[in-house]
Structure 1
């Protein structure tokens, strides 16, 4: 007659698909405890897990570094673009003034050009950039 085994909390049940009866099987946790932490398989698994954890953490650190670098690049680009917007706004203002001055002289019948762009503050900043 087969030996009966006392069930523990670590045991689980599985159902035999053919006859519908339940049979007791040991859980993975229970089997691991029986082998102990001294087994070669356990040591190999722990070593592989430790390597995987180190690799995952390094990958995470690298991603964080890349994100910080990208943020810094985008901030610098944004600052440069804001400066360009200011310069173009000044240029637009100068051109509007020039156009309005010219339109005013044409309306009066005098076709002289208003003060030169070279006399304006913006012209000096353009020369500095080039």
Structure 2
């Protein structure tokens, strides 16, 4: 039940093959275009880096000296940039360490302050509870005596 059609395009030099696959689900069949790569006509690939490396360049030539000079400058710039980045990172690390120490000291101080405030609050709450309880017992006993 499978059909295979081949079409040659007169405008293109590539040959396209249309494959129609049968579907058992009863859905409409969709043709698939597959380019035939056996015919040339594509773009020529640029020479590879390896081919350029194999080309012998005279070390005394002006072009060679210019390339070396540009490369040396690029390497120096890259190394300076790398060193600067490392120094910036080190400075940032030291800043963060100092900030961390300050924050830890602040945490200790605030923890102590919280403890003191808790103690004051509990002391005040106990003194309030002690002062409220006798009044409530006295008033309740007075009410009981009146009845």
Runs of 4+ in 1 over 4 A off after TM superposition: none
Where structure 1 has 5 or more consecutive residues not aligned to the other structure, the ranges are 1-16, 19-26, 111-130
SS of match in other structure, 1:94: helix
SS of match in other structure, 1:108: helix
Residues 28-43 of structure 1: pairs in structure 2 closer than 5 A: 28-31=52-55, 33=56, 35-43=57-65
Taking structure 1 as the reference length, the TM-score comes to 0.61
Matched, 1:85 2:107: yes
Matched, 1:59 2:81: yes
Deviation digits for residues 41-70 of structure 1 (CA, Å, limit 9, x no counterpart)? 000000000000000000000000000000
Where structure 2 has 5 or more consecutive residues not aligned to the other structure, the ranges are 1-39, 42-50, 133-147
Distance in structure 1 (CA, Å) of the matches to 2:114 and 2:53: 75
Count the aligned residue pairs. Answer: 85
Larger radius of gyration: 2
